[in-house]
Structure 1
Amino acid sequence: MNLISVIVPCWNEEETIPIYYEHMCPVMDAIDADCELIFVDDGSQDATLSEMKKLSEKDARCQYLSFSRNFGKEAAIYAGLCKAKGDYVVVMDVDLQDPPELLPKMYEMVKSGICDSVATRRSDRTGEPVIRSFLSENFYKFINKISKTQLVYGARDYRIMCRKMVDAVLQMSEYNRFSKGIFSWVGFRTEWLEYENVERSAGETKWSLRQLFKYSLEGITGFSVAPLSVAAVLGVVFCGVSFLMILFLVIRTLIWGDPVAGWPSMVCVILFMGGIQLLCMGIMGEYLSKTYLESKHRPIYIVRSSSYEKE
């Protein structure tokens, strides 16, 4: 019988873990395959780890990893993929915004061989702040214009993958990770399931606008070099403009003399050009910092405790 490994990243989710388990039990019992739940504690500061240990002692299907500190959701997903033994691997959130009820259908689709992966996307963003929905929609539009790796609007991390696709993802062991881009970049045939937005089962979202902005930069710099091209184009354009301005000033001086120009306009030009230079340096610095972090070859995560230690 096939084994399905379900990776569940958690950060300060002590309230949602018992609720999630209650919803997953009937799904795992009904599905025509063996299942294992791999909970990954991303350095939580509440009783998340205690809840994981309780489930591990109660149900042999539940395993857990606990990080030494908060490494981020991307590291938690990667850690789960490394530990997953299943013929098929699922990534889903613990807050039930990824409906467990879809899993049997997803499994049947990928098992039939019509695709290598079944991914989900939200058909609406009901209950989400307007500004967050607006920024998210425009992020997808922007990155799809500047990157060869196309992302589906509303895509969730919730998906099921065959073993070959999981192995391909594990080959991409970069330190700076953006899973939505990685899943798309490795290819394989993917079918999409739509569902209406679901509210969290408990607690509050851990993603602030600042964190989402940093995450979007990770995606842009990880899967597109267009910003570097923009910086180069700006440099060429302003070099050309400055050359024309010099030529204009030389001709004007030869014909009409050199009247004293107003200093405010000169200050504005200097500030504008300085801002453009700093922008270009910032873009290059962002890419350089990614290269610097990758060159250190630091581990993506560090495990403090794990149910696998008992094996």
Structure 2
Amino acid sequence: MELLSVIVPCYNEQENIVDFYNELFKYEGFFKDRDVDIELIFVNDGSKDDTVSIVKELHAKDERVHLINFSRNFGKEAGMYAGLQKSKGDYVVVMDCDLQDPPALLPDMFKCIAEEGYDSVATRRVDRKGEPPIRSFFARQFYKIINKMSKTEIVDGARDYRLMTRQFVDAILSLEEYNRFSKGIFGWVGFKTKWLEFENIERKKGETKWSFWKLFLYALDGIVAFSTAPLAMASVFGVLFCFIALIFIIFIVVRQLTVGDPNNTVGWASTVCIISLVSGVQLFCLGIVGQYLSKAYLEVKKRPMYIVKEEL
């Protein structure tokens, strides 16, 4: 009998765990008919509510339910990576606990792999109904920017909800980088992937853990992780402003030799503007370099991506 591993990263999801469990196992019969068993791995990412105790209650009733309990909050990327490492399945799927990733899609996703020969089946939202308009706007702009900068395609509206073969999972686990951006990693490893579209489903219980600021930092991580274009852009800015500065120097020298400057205060405003502009560009370029340097710093320290407090 084959095995399907379901990985569910959790952070303060006490209101959704039982509902997710019940919804998932509605489709148990479909997999049993195909000789596929299910293991459910909850990865608790430092929750401050009763997430752990509820998962332990489910484990006591159903031995197919497992728990990876982190010592603190390490982030969703660490949670997904820990689940992938723990999984034993021939097929592995990553899902959110809030039911915004509908389990109803699992049968179709499995058929695409088992019957059509795909290595992974990914999902994307065709709309962003229920999201604040500003957040939706910036999300779309992010996908446009990163796809212009990066050779790795990252699909607009892509979810982390993805069913994968064991070979696909092993390829992901072979990338042991500390700064992870899974949407990019999924695309970078290649393989044959099919995309399933569905309409956005709003969270029924609890609140989203992704603030605008967290999403912005996550987007920044994605750009830095899968593109060196910002470094090239910083270099272009440097060359451009060196050229502009050279033109200004020639202009000033020629004017001084031909016309002179009877009033020493003339030109101070333009000088201040030029200095301010060039200084701003320099700081911007230093910030870009600093982002890459900070990522390299975190990589070379070789700290573990997460620390497990207990496992069931």
Equivalent position of 2:168 in the other structure: 165
Deviation at residue 271 of structure 1 after TM alignment: 1.3
Residue in 1 aligned with 2:17?
Answer: 17
1:95, 1:200 within 8 Å by CA — same for their partners in 2?
yes
Is 2:276 the partner of 1:241?
no
Partner amino acid, structure 2, of 1:24: L
| Equivalent in the alignment of 2:118 | 115
What is the CA deviation profile of residues 165-195 of structure 1, one whole-angstrom value per residue up to 9, with x for unaligned ones? 1000000111000000000000000000001
Distance 1:249 1:271 in 2: 18
CA separation in 1, counterparts of 2:116 and 2:299?
Answer: 36
Give 1:258 shift.
2.3
Tell me the CA shift for residue 109 of structure 1. Answer: 1.0
TM-score (normalizing by structure 2) = 0.97
- Cα deviation for residue 26 of structure 1 reads 1.2
**2:19 aligned partner, one-letter code:** I
The answer to whether residue 299 in structure 2 is matched with residue 294 in structure 1 is yes
In 2, Cα distance between equivalents of 1:149 and 1:257: 56
Q: Which residue of the partner structure matches residue 177 of structure 2?
A: 174
Deviates more, 1:53-62 or 1:67-76: 53-62
- Where 2:310 maps in the other structure, the secondary structure is strand
The SS at the match of 1:102 is helix
Matched with 2:269 is 264
Structure 2 spans left out of the alignment, 5+ residues: none
Give the aligned length.
307
Pick from 222, 225, 230 the counterpart of residue 227 of structure 1.
230
CA RMSD of aligned residues (A): 0.9
Match of 1:58 among 54, 58, 61: 61
Partner of 2:52: 49
1:36 alignment partner AA: E
Distance 1:30 1:148 in 2: 38
Tell me, yes or no, if structure 1 residue 96 matches structure 2 residue 99.
yes
Per-residue deviation, 1:212: 0.2
- Paired residue type of 2:89: G
Q: How far apart in 1 are the matches of 2:206 and 2:256? A: 70
Q: Whole-Å Cα distance in 1 between the matches of residues 6 and 204 of structure 2?
A: 19
Which AA in structure 1 matches 2:185? I
**In structure 2, distance between residues paired with 1:40 and 1:294:** 23
Residue 28 (structure 2) aligns with: 28
Q: TM-score, normalised by structure 1?
A: 0.97
Q: 1:74 aligns with which of 77, 81, 86?
A: 77
Deviations 1:115-164 (A, max 9, x none): 10000001111111111110111100010001000111111000100111
Contact 1:74 1:178 in 2 (8 A): yes
Question: Mean alpha-carbon deviation: is it higher for 47-56 or for 110-119?
Answer: 110-119
Q: Secondary structure at the match of 2:7?
A: strand
Higher alpha-carbon deviation: 127-136 or 251-260: 251-260
SS across alignment from 1:5: strand
In the TM superposition, residue 105 of structure 1 has moved relative to its aligned partner by 1.0
Residue 288 of structure 2: aligned partner? 283
CA contact (8 A) 1:19 1:201 kept: no
Deviates more, 1:88-97 or 1:267-276: 267-276
